[in-house]
Amino acid sequence: MADVNKCQSKSSTSDKPRVKGKFVKKGTASRSNRLKYFNKVNYDLSKTRGTEHSYSREADDCYNYSQTADHDVYYDANIALVETVAEDSDISWRDGRRIVELKHMADQMFCVKCSHPLHLSHIVDEKISGLGSFLHIQCPSPQCLYINTVTTGKRNEKGVFDINNKATIAMIHSGMGPTHLQNFLAACNIPPPNQSTIIRREKEMSKSLLSQAKQSCDRARDKEKNSTESTSMEASFDAAWQTRGSGCQYNSNTGHSSMIGPNTDKVIDFDYRTRLCSICTHHFSRRETVPAHVCNSNWEGSSKAMESDMAASMLRRLKDDGFEISAIHADNDSTTAARLKAEFQSLEKRCDKNHLKKNITKQLYSLSKSHKQLKQEGVICYITKCYMHPLSIKRQSEEEVGRKLDMVVPHIFGDHNLCSTSWCAYHRNPKVYRMKYLPDGKPLNDEMLREALNRITLSLKRILPQLVCLGSTQSNENFNNMVASKAPKNRAYGRTTSLASRVSAAVLQKNEGYTYISQVNEDALLSPGVVSKLHGIRMDKKKLWNKKQQSSIAFKRRRLLLKKRKQKREYSLHLREGNTYGSNIETAAEVDIESIPGKLDPEKGKCIMFDIETTGLSRDSDIVQLSAFDGITEFNVYIRPNQPISKNATAISGITFSFEKNTLYYNGREVESTDLRLGLLKFLEYLQSHANPILVGHNIMSYDIPVLCNKLHECSMLSEFIQCVYGCADTLKLAHKLYKKEDVGNYKQSNLVNILLGKSYAAHNSLEDVKILHELFTKKLTCHSEDLFPFHIHILQKSFKTMVEKKAMSVATSRKIAGSGLGFRHIMLAHKRDELSGVKTLLGEHGMKGKVVSKMIEYLKAHEE
């Protein structure tokens, strides 16, 4: 039975025991509350509240149930006083959802007095204890009406529901805190346990987690020792902190570290440091004397000094247990190795390969600020690769490593006298040798840069003993990520034992896999959990499969390729957008906000067939009919011209115009017409009703678009039209790409419709032209990104007139660049944003490279001067 006295005392102000006064004993008040509770349960059965859902139905059938409880029927619930207090007295058993062990509850669903089956619809009251509940169910038998107590789950010897302990393990495993767990449960409409309840359960479960983590490390040591051929053992070491930041910004109050065996990839020891204690902090803030307690704090030094202290502490423990470490793999970001040497004279240090590569790359990027040659694409990657190649070879002497390092800088600058044939192909054929990964295949020539690279070489040669056989701390980094997933860096768990619990859980997951939860459950005298175990096995299988896939050469190559593509894409976007983010960028004298247009994508636009009829064949002719069709809606307007219609045009289109009557005729019949500006406005409104309209027409690049552009310019509507139209496509050029001339005869629209569709139509009426063109385009033609061009292509091409005249580019090149949506201003903008590779990258996306780009860059440099 639950502890009823505290439940009643917290329910409401009116329910407070009247006998309890200033001088009434606590026991007397407790007995009074208990009696009041039983009176209420057994005699006041009229309590009703609104239901949220109806999950059960009444049944008249009686079944024979056998009751098996986790405790005796007359179990004294007073041993779990705190846990059985209702979290919220306003929550009825009809409200929300509950977590229930079905079999456990089913075994209790009979009356303990008359053995009559119980029904959940006869619940008269509920006392919530964390995520478990005591359900008080009245026997439905009229002769009995006894109030039975049914628990929703198993409890331990202290009366605590097992689900509360398991929820705490789940909270730690998933990286949540008490507040997050409460929010999660409340969002699921499950009454969340009190935060103090969660903290007590976490403190209790931390013992099992720490115990299992230490046992797991002991087993890992034995495996590592058995897998090592020599008598000496090696281990990789790394530390991490629970606060975001790096380098000089390390000011975390907590930190952890691990030592992992390189053969087994398991944690053989771990440690943590914290400068915080919740009890000390609480009393310090209130200026009170701190009482005697087990202080959570175990460190008083700086955050950076935690690393070396934890390393020394672990090495001592390992040595005391008979596992002496002869060499550690670690990075060069701290003085840990130097401090350990003072205590462990025989200890050797091996540099971490990944950190070494990262440090070299970091130095090169720092040099790129003053040496422009390093800013060119691929240069830094190639230099880093040249440095890492001799260091990655195992079983070398210090002399061999030093000699190979001396080759690197001369090789990069074209001096191959020291190069060996094993990694440099110059000596195989010096005449045709090109430096493949350097710009234009030529060596670097900046002497100041050469001196800086020589200094990097000297700094590496100072630590030659650590470079002979490089180690790896990737496993430690993986472990640090596991800790970060269970103790995120934006939360503080170092004031209590919570941090130790979470680091221990990460150790168990690293060593034992996801099935460690079942081991912790068993250690805490909880059921292992069939579902938990099966899920852990599935996760472990998935982890092994991912590890196998990620270690394959094909996967690594694919990863590098995707990384390269991503970097290239990011650079291209940055080049097009300009500086969009930076420290204090808004206060700059000139803010570069102009964007360079990218490739047009036909999938992003809506294709609209478009055609015009004019007064003649010249590009200065007036428009007399303008039509468009999107496959559903059509647009057609007749426009009164300002110049007479030629006889040839009338013969082709059948349109005539009378200046005396100001009337337009089609095939001799009068048609409704409008002036030019109003007709263009209607056409613009039609286009604006579509998202990203793409104008598609036959031979529109050479004729229709130039004529339309001239008329739009006359009406001062060109800029508005350019902003509206996404792009254009010419079906004449599409047909040229897809069909040979001997197959279709000629590429006139009427002939293509006749040959490809087997139809004839009233040609040279723009409305009929666009309707049949839509069918031809959708059924027989295909349009790709390279087939689209901007509406103002001719204006863009004119911007390159000076460059064409000065032989910096050909007419065909200017047309191709303009067709990609780029003008001279865009080229200049790319050159301004990146002098070395801006233009090369921008034009390279459109298939232009080599001498064409080089000539343009030379012209732009001269133009700047």
Q: What is the mean pLDDT of residues 132-158?
A: 93
Region of 95 (left: φ > 0; alpha: ψ -120 to 50; beta: rest) is beta
- CATH class in words for 201-242+252-348+474-512: alpha beta
Mean pLDDT check: name the lowest of 20-24, 210-214, 231-235, 255-259.
20-24
Q: Are 722 and 791 within 8 A, CB to CB?
A: yes
Q: How far is Cα 218 from Cα 563, in angstroms, rounded to an integer?
A: 40
Cβ 136 vs Cβ 125: under 8 Å: yes
Q: 352 pLDDT exceeds 60?
A: yes
**Alpha helices (H) along 374-440:** 379-392, 398-412
Do the Cβ atoms of 295 and 302 come closer than 8 Å?
no
Q: With pLDDT > 70 as the criterion, what percentage of the chain qualifies? A: 88
Question: Are the C-beta atoms of 380 and 368 separated by less than 8 Å?
Answer: yes
Q: Tell me which of 38-42, 179-183, 195-199, 390-394 is least confident.
A: 38-42
Query: pLDDT at position 1, please?
Result: 37
SS3 assignment, position 612 = strand
How many other β-carbons are positioned within 10 Å of the β-carbon of residue 634?
15
Q: Is the pLDDT of residue 140 over 70?
A: yes
Q: State the maximum Cα–Cα separation within the chain, in Å, rounded to a whole number.
A: 120
| d(C-alpha 36, C-alpha 693), whole Å | 78
Residue 605 and residue 692 in contact, taking contact as beta carbons nearer than 8 Å? yes
What DSSP string describes 126-169? EEEETTEEEEEEE-S-TTT--EEEEESS-B-TTS-BHHHHHHHH
pLDDT at 774 over 60: yes
pLDDT band at residue 27, thresholds of 50, 70 and 90? low
Residue in the block written with tokens 């639950």: 2
Cβ-defined contacts of 848-855 (< 8 Å, 24+): 848/813, 848/816, 848/817, 852/809, 852/813, 855/808, 855/809
Cα 130 versus chain centre, distance:
35
DSSP category for residue 125 = E
Q: Kindly indicate the confidence band of residue 78, based on its pLDDT and cuts at 50, 70 and 90.
A: very low
88 vs 222 pLDDT, higher one? 222
Mean pLDDT in residue range 585-612: 83
Tokens in use for 668? 């001799």
Report the pLDDT value the prediction gives residue 39, as an integer from 0 to 100: 53
Tokens 């003008």 appear where?
A: 823
What local confidence, expressed as pLDDT, does residue 637 receive?
Answer: 93
**pLDDT tier at 110 (50, 70, 90 boundaries)?**
very high
Helices 553-577 and 530-550 meet at what angle, rounded to 10?
A: 80
Tokens 């020599």 sit on residue: 230
The answer to whether 201-242+252-348+474-512 and 602-782 have equal CATH topology is yes
Q: Which residues contact 190 (CB under 8 A, 6 or more apart)?
A: 96, 97, 98, 99, 131
Average pLDDT over residues 465-471: 86
Integer CA distances (angstroms), 390 to 110, 115, 329, 677, in order: 78, 82, 19, 73
- CA pair distance 546, 393, nearest whole angstrom: 27
Q: Report which of 600, 607, 816, 620 is spatially closest to residue 708, judged by C-alpha positions.
A: 620
C-alpha angle 123-124-127 in degrees, rounded to nearest 5: 90
pLDDT at 503 over 90: yes
Reference 575, options 553, 592, 562; nearest CA is: 592
Q: How many residues in total does the chain contain?
A: 865
From 57-71, 479-493, 741-755, the region with the lowest mean pLDDT? 57-71
> Please, what is the Cα angle at 478 between 276 and 313, to 5 degrees?
45
Report the DSSP pairing between strands 623-629 and 634-639: antiparallel
Lookup result for tokens 């409104």: 685
pLDDT for residue 51 is more than 60: no
- Contact status, residue 726 vs residue 686, Cβ threshold 8 Å: no
Cα within 13 Å of Cα(759), Cβ side: 13
Separation between Cα atoms, residue 801 and residue 321, nearest integer Å: 82
**Terminal CA-CA length for the chain:** 93
Most confident of the ranges 438-442, 637-641, 657-661:
637-641
DSSP state of 755: I
pLDDT at residue 144 tops 80: yes
The residue type at 714? E
* Average pLDDT of the chain to the nearest whole number: 85
Fold for 602-782, please state it: Nucleotidyltransferase; domain 5 (3.30.420)
The one-letter code for the residue type at 663 is T
β partners of residue 132: 129
Residues 6+ apart with CB under 8 A from 228: 234, 263
Question: Residues 399, 455: contact at Cβ < 8 Å?
Answer: no
Q: Of 541, 659, 644, 608, which Cα lies nearest the Cα of 774?
A: 608
Contact 367, 373 (CB under 8 A): no
Would you state the structure tokens that stand for residue 599, as one six-digit string?
């490739």
Q: Does the pLDDT of residue 4 top 90, yes or no?
A: no
Give the Å distances, CA to CA, from 282 to 277, 289, 549: 9, 10, 50
Please, is 674 exposed, middle or buried when counting C-beta atoms within 10 Å of its C-beta (0-12, 13-18, 19+)?
middle
Which residues does 734 contact at the CB level (< 8 Å), separation at least 6? Answer: 777, 781, 782, 783, 787
Q: Helices in 781-850 by DSSP H: which ranges?
A: 793-798, 801-805, 811-819, 824-833, 838-844
Task: Judge whether 256 and 293 are in contact, CB under 8 Å.
Answer: no
Cα distances from 770 to residues 633, 678, 749, 765, 773, in angstroms, run: 11, 21, 10, 9, 5
Orientation of helix 516-523 relative to helix 195-227, angle to 10°: 120
Task: Name residue, tokens 């081991």.
Answer: 519
Which residue is listed with tokens 């990069």? 412
Least confident stretch, 30-44, 280-294, 802-816: 30-44
Q: Which residues contact 376 (CB under 8 A, 6 or more apart)?
A: 439, 836, 837
Is pLDDT above 70 for 229? yes
> Pairing state of beta strands 727-730 and 693-697?
parallel
pLDDT value of residue 587:
67
Tens-place pLDDT, residues 511-534 = 999 999 999 999 999 999 899 999
CA 216, 222, 223: angle at the middle one, nearest 5? 90
| Confidence tier at 34 by pLDDT (50, 70, 90) | low
What are the domain boundaries of the chain?
A: 4-190, 201-242+252-348+474-512, 353-467, 602-782, 794-864
**Short-list 234, 412, 424, 402, CA closest to 330:** 234
The pLDDT value recorded for residue 75 is 36
**Are the C-beta atoms of 84 and 129 separated by less than 8 Å?**
yes
Q: How many CB atoms lie within 10 A of CB 749?
A: 21
Integer Cα distance of 430 and 414 in angstroms: 11
Q: CA 44 to CA 407: how far, in whole Å? A: 94
Cα(266)–Cα(219) distance, rounded to whole angstroms?
9
**Helix, strand or coil, per DSSP, at residue 609:** strand
Judged against a pLDDT cut of 80, whether residue 607 lies above it is answered with yes
Q: What is the DSSP letter of 622?
A: P
| Contacts with 461 (C-beta within 8 Å, 6 or more apart), sequence order | 402, 405
C-beta pairs of 846-851 under 8 Å, 24+ apart in sequence: 846/599, 846/816, 846/817, 846/820, 846/822, 848/813, 848/816, 848/817
